[in-house]
Amino acid sequence: MQDPKSYRIDELAARFGLAARGDASGLVSGVAPLARAEPGQLAFLANSRYVPDLAGTRAGVVVLRAEHADASPSPVLIAPDPYLAYARIAALFDHEPATAPGVHPTAVVAANAHVDAGASVGPGCVIESGARIEAGAVLGPNCVIGTDCTVGSQSRLGANVTLVTRVTLGKRVLIHAGAVLGADGFGIARDGNHWFKVPQLGGVRIGDDCEIGANTTIDRGALEDTVLEADVRLDNQIQIAHNVRIGAHTAMAGCAAVAGSASIGRDCLIGGGAGVLGHLEIADGVTITAMSLVTHSIRAPGTYSSGAPIEENRAWRRNAARMRQLDAMARRIADLEKRLEALTKEHR
């Protein structure tokens, strides 16, 4: 639902440090995609594939780069990063309903748990022994806050979030529905023909301003804590194993997985479905593209990829067959190189 409040275009320009062109007296009361925006709505152009939509847009104003300004039939707001500018403006129209502080009558709170008077605890929540819910925190329906867990001030948990044990959330952490933090890490030792479970005695520490997507899981450490530093952003259905450390401002897309004791640096980008093997180190400023598998430590910033891009099936089957022949081909080429070198020496 969009906020009924409207903003003049020149007001938005001044507020967000943007340059306005065209009639800047118009009002903006919402946002919409470039091709479907109506007068009174703001759209943006950040990706060149949508340039054809610009000529026919009916948007009240378009946020874009300077090189596209002359092609717009609507007033424009010029930004070096249109997507970021759009995000900041769109936040004006994205307001969560106010949540009243207090504990719902159906919630169950242990006698020695602490719930700040300014926190909001929704229906069906369970807050166990030694847990702390700090000022301004909001727990959605049916959340479970386990033993010795802390929910930091102004943090917000969606429905059915579970903090199992020894989980500490910083300030302003956002956790979406169904996420589980602090479950056992996957620690097992072989004992003859059976597995022996290794106790998971650490916890999970989440820094300020982190966001954790729906149904994402973050396991607690075996001895030390699993750690997300400040402003880490995790998409939905991500697996973070025990003792992993993720540096500040790193973002990971959906279905990525990080195995135990891996360390990911600051300001990294991990694409959807990517995997990082255990005990590896990834430097600051690394980008891993979607569906890549990281099998060795990465010591320098940059963009890294693995895997085969999609292609027509018959071509893929032919190439897959040739892949099985690569070792034999390499051996034959090496043998030919040796023969060529010998022949060259003979004729000198």
**Does 107 lie in the same domain as 15?**
no
**Does 88 lie in the same domain as 142?**
no
In a domain, 12, yes or no: yes
Q: What is the pLDDT of residue 1?
A: 36
Structure tokens at 339: 């023969």
**Does 285 lie in the same domain as 177?**
yes
**Does 76 lie in the same domain as 24?**
yes
| Domains of the chain: total | 3
In a domain, 2, yes or no: no
In a domain, 327, yes or no: yes
Rounded to two decimals, what is the model's pTM?
A: 0.89
Residue-number span of the structural domain to which 152 is assigned = 102-304
Catalytic choice (242, 249, 279, 347): 242
**Does 80 lie in the same domain as 40?**
yes
In a domain, 174, yes or no: yes
Q: What is the pLDDT of residue 3?
A: 45
**Does 106 lie in the same domain as 80?**
no
Q: What is the pLDDT of residue 156?
A: 98
**Does 215 lie in the same domain as 177?**
yes
Residue 136, number of CB atoms within 10 A of its CB:
18
Establish whether 242 is a catalytic residue: yes
pLDDT, averaged in runs of 10, over the chain (348 residues) = 74 97 95 96 95 96 96 97 97 85 97 97 98 98 98 98 98 98 96 95 98 98 96 98 98 98 98 97 98 97 92 92 92 93 83
In a domain, 1, yes or no: no
Q: What is the pLDDT of residue 4?
A: 59
**Does 187 lie in the same domain as 108?**
yes
